[in-house]
Amino acid sequence: MKPTVRSLAALFLELSLSGCGESSHSLPTMVPITHSVAPIPTTQKVPASIKIIVPSGKSTTTNAKRRKSLSIAYNSAGLLINAYAPGTTTPVLTTVAANVSSGSPLCITQSDTSRICSIPMTLPIGSYDFTAANYDKLPASSTTITTGANELGFGKASGKTLISGSANIISFSIASVLASASLTIPATIIPPLSNYSQQITVSGLDLDGNIIMTDPNSDGYINSLGSPASITLSATAYGSSTSLVSFSSSTISAPSATGVTLTYNAANLVNAIPGINVSLTALPSTGGSSGSATLNIIGATGLGNIYVSNPGTSTVTKYNAAGTQQTFTTTGMGLRIITSGLTKVLLTK
């Protein structure tokens, strides 16, 4: 702290008084006065390298119809990087747009077709949060993406400190943004009398309609801001929720190579309408279009009995809902006949 006028006067007075004494008295030893100086904020800028891992893509065949099943690796073209003060999302301190397409000199393609891209930036020394959004069109400038581009992926890295004399490499992955969902089932028609299970395919799609594939660098589906997203499965019959079918998982938060098991529960069949349609829906939490499919349970009967005529023997066989043959009687019964090939199925009214 700088001495005040009062402290200087006192010091001068002390020295004057000491001079009035005997000449043999020595002057007091002077102690240097020191004070701390607050550090001046630096505006020194340092180079940084944003290292982005763009996941791989493959091609698959679905339902005997070839459909491109692509990750963002194939369609990625532009990347928009923003830097913020830690813990904030506004204002944007710095923005850089970069070419991360397969032919970009900023990227190196790996053996699995994924790419590692390094984008140079220059920022003042300090700590930052970074976000990166991936698009299907090239940058329009060094700070903007071409108008009309679809956002395919998003990533973020928080609390990164840039210092002088360091390479300042900031690494984070880009995950696919969930836009919509699709749903396919192998068997759309099943018999009513026995439990039945099958693997169905539930897929998340990006804005370009590409199937989002399993990626070890991603924790699962996300929305356009990087928050977790999911797909919800539901089954409806007769206009309301039903327990006729169930799913091994009704909420899908990440791509799965094994799919989802759908199980038909025959014991819960209680309605007397033959030919029950169960509507299956895959709804994305991001608000995009849903996937849907219809499961038809043929020949269902509410009384739990099916009567099969045997043309060769002119007899009728009775089965209960569990498929067990029963003692047959025609007393007081009303039957209706549904012809199917050479076998006639008679259902109780």
Distances (CA, A) of 274 to 65, 196, 198, 318, 326: 32, 17, 22, 16, 20
Position 303 pLDDT exceeds 60: no
Position 75 pLDDT exceeds 70: yes
Question: Are residues 148 and 233 located together in one domain of the fold?
Answer: no
Position 203 pLDDT exceeds 90: yes
Number of domains in the chain: 3
Average pLDDT over residues 131-146: 95
What's residue 22's pLDDT?
45
Encode pLDDT of 276-302 as tens digits. Answer: 778 899 999 999 999 999 988 775 444
Flag whether 25 is in a domain. Answer: no
Question: Are residues 245 and 344 located together in one domain of the fold?
Answer: no
40-49, 80-89, 241-250, 278-287: which has the minimum mean pLDDT?
A: 40-49
Q: Determine what percent of the chain is predicted with pLDDT higher than 90.
A: 41
Structural domain of residue 329, as residue ranges? 306-348
Question: Are residues 272 and 340 located together in one domain of the fold?
Answer: no
Is the bond into 41 cis (omega within 30 degrees of 0)? Answer: no
pTM of the model: 0.67
Flag whether 33 is in a domain. Answer: no
Flag whether 275 is in a domain. Answer: yes
CA distance 162 to 45: 9
Strand 78-84's sheet: what is its strand order? 94-99, 78-84, 126-135, 151-162, 175-176
Question: Are residues 109 and 126 located together in one domain of the fold?
Answer: yes
Indicate left, alpha or beta for 148 from its phi (over 0: left) and psi (-120 to 50: alpha): left
Question: Are residues 160 and 136 located together in one domain of the fold?
Answer: yes
Last residue of a domain, one of 129, 157, 176: 176
Last residue of a domain, one of 176, 204, 230: 176
What's residue 20's pLDDT?
44
Encode pLDDT of 29-64 as tens digits. Answer: 444 444 444 443 457 899 999 998 776 654 444 432
Position 169 pLDDT exceeds 70: yes
Question: Are residues 269 and 337 located together in one domain of the fold?
Answer: no
Average pLDDT over residues 232-252: 80
What's residue 73's pLDDT?
58
CB-count exposure of residue 135 (10 Å: 0-12, 13-18, 19+) = buried
Position 329 pLDDT exceeds 90: no
Question: Are residues 168 and 66 located together in one domain of the fold?
Answer: yes
Q: What is the chain's mean pLDDT, rounded?
A: 75
